[in-house]
Structure 1
């Protein structure tokens, strides 16, 4: 019987064909959004320079160098953190009280009791200046 003799060849061709289809399919899929921001830096004010040092000490372990994000915390250089959606008060509250997970899949943010409100002001200044350097400006929040 010729048909049964051709089954192994058909199986190999079918398997090979499915592999080619998979490769082509994956090639044309969009890249997933990166968790880490590419951050453009500008000259910082003195307050923002102080904020950068404080950020590096207290925030960068999760939010990354220059607030670019890590596998432990989101990038703050992201439009969702524009001042219209997350005003400065949100940063003060996050530091003082922590934040339950809501925008990102990183889990809850713990409160940072060691960071004073004066230090938060400097950190916010730093974050806002690098946000601005990256085109992140106030946009009204819409629900």
Structure 2
């Protein structure tokens, strides 16, 4: 008889933890689509937009605003002081282990050329600048 209350308490605690975890996880995903102001783009950024739309937007959303499959790149986490341009190169070439968002690992994108990656980075940086995201030193 003494085991019955312990089982109920354990089930209640485990259920509560599961509900809290689900709430946190689902709210992180819900907050991953941001509103992006799109500026007049330079010619290199226009090339980057075309490459982004063809290869990145399916996960990172239109105008890098995020989706239910990938995070927004127009976000302060990706400011140049925290993620330098080369971080985007490595992400496309090698993939990325999940570290900021709950989307899982990003696989390598071997179909994207180095020239396209450079143009994509230019596009992302122009979007970021238009949305108030600029270099901030990263302090650990």
TM-score (norm 2): 0.78
Unpaired stretches in structure 2, ≥5 consecutive residues: 1-26
C-alpha distance in 1 between matches for 2:102 and 2:32: 10
**Counterparts of 1:16-95 in structure 2 under 5 Å?**
34-95=31-92
Q: How far is the alpha carbon of 1:140 from its aligned partner?
A: 0.3
Unpaired stretches in structure 1, ≥5 consecutive residues: 1-31
The partner residue of 1:121 within 101, 118, 127 is: 118
Q: Structure 1 residue runs of 4+, over 4 Å off?
A: none
C-alpha distance in 2 between matches for 1:117 and 1:85: 21
Alpha-carbon RMSD: 0.8
Q: How far is the alpha carbon of 1:81 from its aligned partner?
A: 0.2
* Bigger-Rg structure (1/2): 1
C-alpha distance in 2 between matches for 1:92 and 1:35: 22
The partner residue of 1:105 within 95, 102, 119 is: 102
2:125 is equivalent to residue 135 of structure 1: no
TM-score (norm 1): 0.77
Q: How far is the alpha carbon of 1:35 from its aligned partner?
A: 1.2
In the alignment of these two chains, the number of paired residues is 112
Match in the other structure for 1:15: none
